[in-house]
Chain A
């Protein structure tokens, strides 16, 4: 059985504007999928329906055999521990240290009291340092996050997602606020996560070239509908056109 099934998913914030319409796709364990599409196509809403950061309006999202839409609060917590999330603006707590931010990823496994008191086991701390080492920022462990560059902060974000030991990582525009060099580093790490640790990645991207280079499979969204779903090497110029609309063509080819 596949890791994630999305069946007839629809999302609307009000009656007039449907952000997502009848979305259907399946994700197998170990896939690296990129979701592309113009701004406002519904990419972020789609990711947020999967871990129910926003409520599902219609259809089903089935993760690991369980229906996400009908989960109660405690089940939802358990679901979210299995799904890591990485954000465009890193979403760290800027005044806290790197290591504290990484350990925040373990809250899903803690009781309220353990978490409030900040009781982390030695294993968890060792794991946190090991992950920081893997992502090349172990030296900054005790620095405040707001002293780090964007690329470094995003790596802290990745560590926070990985320490959850998730089955799936959702990345919402992970490189949209980074320079080309840092972007490459981040994308390389994300690819490595799938290749070496077998964690499935769903990555929202703006850049078609990056998507084609890194992803096995690409899902193209336009106005809330899937207009392309297939291997990256099948994404030809005419398909890109249908994703972004004709008037956009000049913009992307520049």
Chain B
């Protein structure tokens, strides 16, 4: 790179910076978004939160029913994740470059995975809501489908990353496909896979709240109910219990990860 080119580069960066500023200003102007005004509303919003989201002893009475719904949500997330994990394992074995049976199934498995992954879980809930109605099956299925796509993708990567060489070696000894998958691929990738499953359980507990609002199940439905009846103290309590649960699950799964990896 010579001096002239360096100058050119600097000029380019300056131009790009100015363009970004211009786009930001234009977008704000078009959408009537005023940065200063929004900053000024912050203190007011905080004031509202403090006065309305205070948890009183009265709201604590609702704790048992909240815990009940929360447990339902946690179990639903775990069930959806584990079911999806089992099916993902098969899809991943078919889809992986290292363990694929043939190209047709490989492409098919990858297609199923990317199809279910690239539609957001919220969209899945709404689509399934129409066909299955408002019940816990819908929530379960929405989480299941999203998890399936993500886990298949993650498993394919774990398999490809860890096993190419040992699969080659075992093929050369005359081992069959099932020998190789059972005795080399799965033992080698299992910790990685468990780690992904734990990650998905955490994520699903978070999304289950949103999915619940849409499909009327679990803690999400309860949140929605109190929110619409303007009982904000209970809404605050529910939010805090969700946050605490997610943190606890995260700590727990970190602990499990440390043991298995």
Contacts and interface: CB of A to CB of B under 8 A. Distances in A.
A binds B: yes
Interface of A: 51, 53, 76-81, 83-85, 87, 89-96, 100, 104-105, 107-110, 112, 115-116, 118, 157, 160-161, 164
B165 A116 contact: no
A107 B165 contact: no
Given A96-B187, A104-B183, A118-B183, A91 B174 contact: no
A116 B188 CA distance: 15
A116 B176 CA distance: 10
22 contacts: A76-B174, A77-B174, A81-B173, A81-B174, A87-B168, A91-B169, A92-B166, A93-B184, A94-B188, A100-B183, A107-B170, A107-B174, A109-B174, A110-B179, A112-B178, A115-B175, A115-B178, A115-B182, A116-B183, A160-B173, A161-B173, A164-B173
Majority DSSP secondary structure for residues of B touching A: helix
B231 interface: no
Contacts of A105: 173
Nearest to B167: A91
A76 B172 CA distance: 10
A79 B187 CA distance: 27
A90 to B, nearest CB: 8
Nearest to B184: A93
B170 to A, nearest CB: 6
Contacts of B174: 76-81, 107-109, 164
A100 B170 CA distance: 12
B182 A53 contact: no
A115 B173 contact: no
Given A80-B173, A91-B168, A115-B175, 15 more contacts: A51-B172, A85-B173, A91-B165, A91-B166, A93-B166, A93-B184, A93-B187, A93-B188, A95-B188, A104-B169, A104-B173, A109-B174, A110-B179, A112-B179, A115-B178
Which residue, of B168, B175, B191, has the highest number of chain A Cβ atoms within 10 A?
B175
Interface in B165-218: 165-166, 168-176, 178-179, 182-184, 187-188, 191
For chain B, give the interface size range.
10 to 19
Contacts of A160: 169, 173
A53 B171 CA distance: 8
Which residue, of A78, A94, A104, A110, has the highest number of chain B Cβ atoms within 10 A?
A104
A118 B182 CA distance: 10
Interface of B: 165-166, 168-176, 178-179, 182-184, 187-188, 191
Contacts of B178: 112, 115-116
Contacts of A76: 174
A107 B188 contact: no
Contacts of B165: 87, 89-91
Nearest to B172: A85
B168 A95 contact: no
B188 A108 contact: no
Contacts of A108: 173-175
Contacts of A92: 166, 169
Given A95-B187, A112-B178, A83 B172 contact: yes
A93 B180 CA distance: 10
Contacts of A90: 165
A217 to B, nearest CB: 23
